[in-house]
Structure 1
Amino acid sequence: MKFPEKLFRSPIECCHIDTQNQQVLEQHLVCAALEHPLSLLYDEKYFGSGLNSAITALKSRGYLISDHSSDPLAKIWSYIGHEKMPSRSISIRAIEAERYVVIDTQLNETLEEIEESRAFFQVYEGAVYMHQGRTYLVKDLDLSRKIAYCEKAALDYYTKTRDYTDIHIIGGKIAYPARISKDQLPRTTAQANTCSVTTTWFGFRRIRKGSNQILDTVDLWLPRYSYESQAVWISVPQSIKTVVEKKYSFCAGLHAACHAVLHVVPLYIRCNLSDLAPECPNPHDTRFFPERILLYDQHPGGTGVSKQIQPYFTELLCSALELLTCCHCSSDSGCPNCVQNLACHEYNELINKDAAIMIIKGVLDAEKLYFEGHPDSTPSC
């Protein structure tokens, strides 16, 4: 075992619940309004500062109606939705309300419901879909009804989508949240903010089992999927990029650095790695790729994990560097113990461990120099 002291001597990780997730709040309020009318004046202390915007959204969707009071704070909001028991249609295991249903056409039974944000990674016409150890072939995808029709099939190949995800920082009021620990943490220029996540699917590959030989490539025409979430990132100075590019691919180093930082997050925050995703460059994309190490919440609306780890970012970089330098794998592309991520959207195609070490060392040195020159400064968004 490597780093046993981190397992046995580290303090218990912080547990975080994001009560301001708008999607969760709206579903909660629908159920609450059925039991008792809502009031901004009295209920904001229970539901938080997002109550007003959530009520406005529910009103526009026909779930709530107010009395005729002229004072907005004094208005009473009552449930008028068409569902007698809205709680029955709200999942306690998933944030998203919209899901795709997977149906076995031979037995005419539902196999699974998949959250909309994950659906096109798993079900599309021609996809090989796995369920409880059985192999199915997706024969048709009804986008309007959100239903995937499949049937059992004995196949010697599996499928992987070809896609890319763009992260655009929007801004908002969550940058530099309050400290969540009494420990003295190193200062950081890392930022946390709302972001827009857009995934585009443009094809898939059929890959032979065992040999992983690519049999063929098929085009896909699926709608893009966008959602608002939260991200945390730190910028990489241009000087570091210039030095790295003399020996390695800078994008490959950024990709590996993002993976390494992701791998050490559970040392500081209680979460699953699936709660977060790194910004992964597409190896065939010629567009500009931002010079930053970025992680974002994978669930629409955000789970608050990105916001929570912002104060720890310098420590995350230190732990990621320790992880990379102590791993004895000899490959430039690393291994699953250091920079490879089984959930990588780009399938670890563009990864360079040595470049990641140079980038993380450079960012840590830049952070040290910045705060030595600005001893009383507080980072600003």
Structure 2
Amino acid sequence: MGTVASPAPAAQAGLAASLHYSGQGRSPAGRIGLRAIDPERYVIFDVSTSRVLEEVEANKAFYVVYDGAVYLHQRTSYVCELLDLGERVAYVRPTRAKYYTSVSDVTDVHVTGSKVAYPTPREALAAIQARRGGMGGGGGPGGVKTEAGMGVKSEAGGEGLGVKVEVKDEEQHEGQQAAVVPGWAAQHPASGDGRGLTAPSDGDGGSSSGGDGDGDGDGDGDGGGDSSSSGGSGGGGGGSSACCESCYVTVRFLGYHTVAHGTGEILDSVQLFLPDSQWETQASYVRLPPTARRRCRDAALDFREGVHAAAHAVLNALPLYMVCNPSDVATECDNPYDTRYRPERLLLYDKHPGGIGLAAQATPLFPELLRRALALVTECPCPYHRGCPACVQHLDCKNYNAVLSKAGAAVVLRAAIEQEERHAAGHGPREGGA
């Protein structure tokens, strides 16, 4: 057998100079937690063995530990006897309870409109535009034709979605009176991705969660009106009115239910007194045109249910375009007992503080996401009013998939797709509250 030649003396000296011994107890890997990326954490302490079970991120802690919570760790159930908010320690003890606990909460997303920390790279937007042109007018996977009578026809080729639009007179000039303020796209005309377009709104578009009451600023009495910029910082590509902006997510914890194993019967409901959890992240959204509410009203469908179901469908379609899971991205879920105002929009937000870039990455994909979501809804054979997990239900819905309408989702998604096609055809972004 041949012998392996040893490195030259000069190479040995250089190798020795680049290495140093850190010692057995000085390895930095021992000080870095891989289970949690949030520096603010709660410690779960087992009082029966006086050992730490694990650490939970602060923005997720109140979902798993609170006074009376049943906490599962490595197949062993523990009951939380005390949650020390000051020390951020949850004291638990093993239990053989025949039930589990489920927290009840309300989540609000407030879009602030500032620039995102992770703008979509220009190269990625250019690749998406090229792919749309190659697929013949942005049909995308699962491309869906709009139903007859809505006056929208697609042609292959062209930039953005590559569509030719024929709309009714009442819809053709809808939202076209806003002055478009040149932003990122005007400063970078060579890129052609159209980010940064901003359209001051005149307040058309708002929904009252208490019902389908009409009254927005479009003159036909629909909805209610808050105002926001049309395509804020880091907005979508030239073929989309979607925009990505910073937002604050606030979670208010109302109480928890004790649920029996096996039967799912709710045994008890207990009120909680916990501080709100709030963090800043990023959200990508498109506003819905007033025609979505009108068509739901004409079809005797609940608009709130349609918007909630459509948002679920978009969220279900997202993993087809990027690697993510329910712990990474979420949407706004409607509560059946909530009577607050909710903006008329389809929104996705990063569930991690500061954002992880998924919402920004989804912004230029919104037209394709809408089409794929409509395909999920229309092609699903389930006959249920509230759909199923294959179309408009989502396993991570905080309101247990209440306030859903599969038929309403199809109406809302078609209206949103038509708005994107009008935008791609050069009619500009429409106004409305975010």
TM-score (norm 1): 0.73
Contact 1:188 / 1:379 at 8 angstroms: preserved in 2? Answer: no
Q: Give the match for residue 326 of structure 2.
A: 273
Alignment of 1:250-261 (within 5 A): 250-261=303-314
How far apart, in 2, do the equivalents of 1:88 and 1:227 lie?
28
- In the TM superposition, what is the alpha-carbon distance from 1:138 to its structure 2 partner? 1.0
- In the TM superposition, what is the alpha-carbon distance from 1:242 to its structure 2 partner? 2.7
How far apart, in 2, do the equivalents of 1:248 and 1:136 lie?
45
Q: Give the match for residue 344 of structure 2.
A: 291
Q: What amino acid is the match of 1:261?
A: V
Q: Give the match for residue 168 of structure 1.
A: 110
Q: What amino acid is the match of 2:420?
A: E
- In the TM superposition, what is the alpha-carbon distance from 1:173 to its structure 2 partner? 2.3
Q: Give the match for residue 213 of structure 1.
A: 265
Q: Give the match for residue 384 of structure 2.
A: 331
Runs of 4+ in 1 over 6 A off after TM superposition: 84-87, 378-381
Contact 1:95 / 1:299 at 8 angstroms: preserved in 2? Answer: no
Q: Give the match for residue 101 of structure 1.
A: 43
| 1:190 partnered with 2:242 | yes
SS in 2 for 1:335: coil
Contact 1:250 / 1:355 at 8 angstroms: preserved in 2? Answer: yes
Which of the numbers 374, 391, 410 marks the counterpart of 1:357?
A: 410
Q: For this pair of structures, how many residues does the alignment match? A: 296
How far apart, in 2, do the equivalents of 1:216 and 1:242 lie?
41
Measured against aligned partners, the alpha-carbon deviations of 1:33-54 in whole angstroms (never above 9, x if no partner) come to: xxxxxxxxxxxxxxxxxxxxxx
How far apart, in 2, do the equivalents of 1:308 and 1:157 lie?
40
Alignment of 1:91-170 (within 5 A): 91-170=33-112
Measured against aligned partners, the alpha-carbon deviations of 1:218-266 in whole angstroms (never above 9, x if no partner) come to: 1100000111000001111122113214522222222211111111112
How far apart, in 2, do the equivalents of 1:172 and 1:255 lie?
25
How far apart, in 1, do the equivalents of 2:91 and 2:35 lie?
24
Which of the numbers 278, 303, 312 marks the counterpart of 2:356?
A: 303
Q: What amino acid is the match of 1:110?
A: V
- In the TM superposition, what is the alpha-carbon distance from 1:156 to its structure 2 partner? 2.1
Which segment is superposed worse, 140-149 or 107-116? 107-116
How far apart, in 2, do the equivalents of 1:132 and 1:343 lie?
22
Does 1 or 2 have the higher relative contact order (CA < 8 Å, sep 6+)? 2
SS in 1 for 2:342: coil
Structure with more helix by fraction: 1
Which segment is superposed worse, 310-319 or 334-343? 334-343
Q: What amino acid is the match of 2:369?
A: L
- In the TM superposition, what is the alpha-carbon distance from 1:85 to its structure 2 partner? 9.1
Q: Give the match for residue 287 of structure 2.
A: 235
TM-score (norm 2): 0.64
Measured against aligned partners, the alpha-carbon deviations of 1:293-331 in whole angstroms (never above 9, x if no partner) come to: 101000000001000110010000111111111111121
